[in-house]
Amino acid sequence: MSGETLEFRGCNFFRIRLTYSILSGRPIRIIDIRKNDDRPGIRDFEAKLIGLLEKVTNGTKVEISRTGTQVTFRPGMITGGVVNVDCGTERCISYFLEPLILLSPFCKLAMTIKLKGVTNAPGELSVDAMKASWLKVYNKFVLNDEKLDIKIQCRGLKPDGGGVVTFTAPIVKTLRPVKRQQVGKVCKIRGQAYVTKVTPSLAYRMIDAAKKAMHGYISDVFIAVDQRKGDAGGASPGYGLFLTAETTEGVVYQAEAVSRPKGESGNPILPEDIGIEAGHALLQKIYMGGALDSSAQVLASTFMTLCPKDVSHFLYGPLPMYSVHTLRHLKQFFEIEFKMEDYRKTLKDNDADLRTGSLDKALITAVGVGYSNLNKTIL
């Protein structure tokens, strides 16, 4: 599959394009990166991502134009190993974790990556979310998961970050096909109210508000307090609430709300508002349903593609735009097409009364390409 250079335009889906380039062995050229912007070209966080991918591969060649609006990426072999990276404070550490998780099963050396930066930020997927929902999906595709972990050693909020996260993953020769259609019923809700460099009483106010927002839904709710002092609390004050809901089938949904970063314009967000926002967001995620959290659809789609030549299928909730474009990129890089079946057509007559939430779900089916990293080929 290697040899033909794929060309893309614009800065969107930058990390997914680089990741799939490495996995498929196909060189890519990305042009017109923010060419009409006041600051044209790639940003610091994108340059750091390229540097990180160079560290976990061997033989990768990158050419960036003088203006930064064009990037040519020729991928090398995935090596993994022990790497320390400062991710800066522009983007959350999860931005850098996503490619690492997708690449980690196919490394020559087991990955141990230490990332420094922001662990929780408004409007971005947090490290907590990836640990709770992504690793659950990862486990379904691999047999050996004893070293698989995301450890938050220090929590860092915007604007100054200061968080430290360690990602470890085992070497997996091949993935296994997965068939996940059963969702189950929500049996427990867990959470973490985290406070860094502020009074811990704010955590209890968030917990009370969240419990009131979810009152009458389920009785098994437990939210712990994660108070961080000193270096473990990072470099910026703040607070937030992270919630997960687990079903009888082991499916995990997650939602989060976090305070406004220090120094940002606008009124500060009250702890009660954060509790209510997180509670309602979790109930919305539960209603949307699916056999995985919507944020982990990218991981499931990628691993379904890289599986041996066997059928995998997964029940997805409503597909976010990022998931739709992931499926399109997979078709471009790996020449694979997914079968998408309307969930309503798969329901039996007696299933309509189960109150399984939104009916806007899709049963995604794919036959793996039989991926092997030994010579970067599709078997």
- What digits encode the pLDDT tens for the residues 137-185? 999 999 877 789 999 999 999 999 999 999 999 988 789 999 999 899 9
Does 302 fall in a domain? no
* Residue after which a domain boundary falls, among 43, 78, 113: 78
Encode pLDDT of 283-292 as tens digits. Answer: 999 999 999 9
Per the prediction, the chain carries an average pLDDT of 92
What is the rounded distance in angstroms from the CA atom of residue 111 to the CA atom of residue 168? Answer: 5
* Burial tier of 358 (Cβ tally within 10 Å: 0-12, 13-18, 19+): middle
Going edge to edge, which strands form the sheet with 6-9? 6-9, 28-31, 71-74, 61-64
Whether 269 maps to a domain, the answer reads yes
- Would the pTM count as exceeding 0.85? yes
Containing 114, the helix (H) or strand (E) segment is strand 109-117
Cis peptide before 159 (omega within 30 of 0): yes
pLDDT of 375 above 50: no
The answer to the question of residue 124 being in a domain is no
Give the C-alpha separation, 256 to 243, whole Å: 6
Q: In Å, how far from its chain's centre is CA 340?
A: 22
- 350: exposed, middle or buried (Cβ count in 10 Å: 0-12, 13-18, 19+): exposed
Q: How far apart are CA 33 and CA 64, in angstroms?
A: 11
- % of the chain residues with pLDDT over 70: 95
Assigned domain for 138 exists: no
193: region left, alpha or beta (phi > 0 left; psi from -120 to 50 alpha): beta
Per the structure, the count of domains in the chain is: 2
Q: Is residue 158 part of a domain?
A: no
Mean pLDDT of 77-106: 95
CA distances from 113 to 67, 120, 172, 329 (A): 31, 18, 17, 26
**Domain-terminating residue out of 47, 78, 109:** 78
CA separation for the pair 293, 172 (Å, rounded): 23
pLDDT band (50, 70, 90) for residue 111: very high
**Domain for residue 41, yes or no?**
yes
CA 347 to chain centre: 29
**Overall average pLDDT of the 110-135 stretch:** 95
Beta bridge partners of 84: 114
Q: Mean of the pLDDT values across residues 244-272?
A: 93
Q: Domain holding 74: CATH number?
A: 3.65.10.10
Any idea what the CATH number is for the domain that residue 217 is in? 3.30.360.20
Inside any domain, residue 123: no
Q: If pLDDT is split at 50, 70 and 90, which confidence band does 265 have?
A: confident
239 in a structural domain: yes
* Domain end residue (candidates: 21, 51, 78): 78
The one-letter amino acid at 210: A
Of 285-289, 306-310, 340-344, 345-349, the poorest mean pLDDT is in 345-349
Q: Which domain holds residue 276?
A: 186-288
